[in-house]
Amino acid sequence: EIRKPLVDRASEWATRLGYDNHVHFIYSNATIHLESIMSTYPGRVENVYIQFPDPHFKKRHRKRRIFQPNLVRAIRDMLPPGGTLFLQSDVHFVSCAMRNCFEYYAADSFHLAPQHAGHDAVFFSHTTDPRATPSEAGGPASSSDVPLLVSTDVPSSDDEDASAVTGEHASGAGHDAPGNAERDAGGGGDDDDYDRMDSKWALGGWLKENPVGVPTEREYACGIKGMPVYRVLLVRN
């Protein structure tokens, strides 16, 4: 987390609850420092969560978004087979971009979790389930979500990046997808590469419930207000 007051508050709460020996909050920019932080962690990473990152609505600030090729590579390499990656936001285009970024740069390393296979467990941004047959849908099936900009009261801090929260450590060796080596090398990516891609993972929809079972403060507020949250759960191959 890059907002130090939030790190201090969370650490204080953990201490009050007696969990300070079990959970730790780090003041850092995950996009830049995740690899170096995890290189000295002796445990095993089994889960990675990226939850409600700063939307960075302004086009000129898109490079500040947490989901960048270098972070995708770092997460891919630290998660072992079977490890999970959970992405969620209440801003539709942010969830689309997060999902698409991992699909674009690491489609050969992740797959949608089984939870996405159940119709009752997911919802879709379109009024028609894109997995429906053309006759059921009244037209051709779609395989991607249109990146709609939804109205939200989330304040966008265009001077800050949001955080990634990691579970208990991991060590895994990933490999670059064919043709992705050059795109990975620079750290940053062309937003249009994945923002406008035709996502196959979109066919899995958005999870209705948080599979972790522990909502963030933002997530809780969204539930109270009846606002949708767009969730994707991926599993490391």
Structural contact between residues 162 and 143, judged by C-beta atoms closer than 8 angstroms: no
What span, in angstroms and rounded, lies between the C-alpha atoms of 228 and 230?
7
What span, in angstroms and rounded, lies between the C-alpha atoms of 100 and 173?
22
Residue 87 one-letter amino acid: L
8, 54, 161, 176: the active-site residue? 54
54 is catalytic: yes
What span, in angstroms and rounded, lies between the C-alpha atoms of 144 and 165?
27
What span, in angstroms and rounded, lies between the C-alpha atoms of 82 and 236?
5
CA 62 to chain centre: 15
Residues acting as catalytic residues: 54
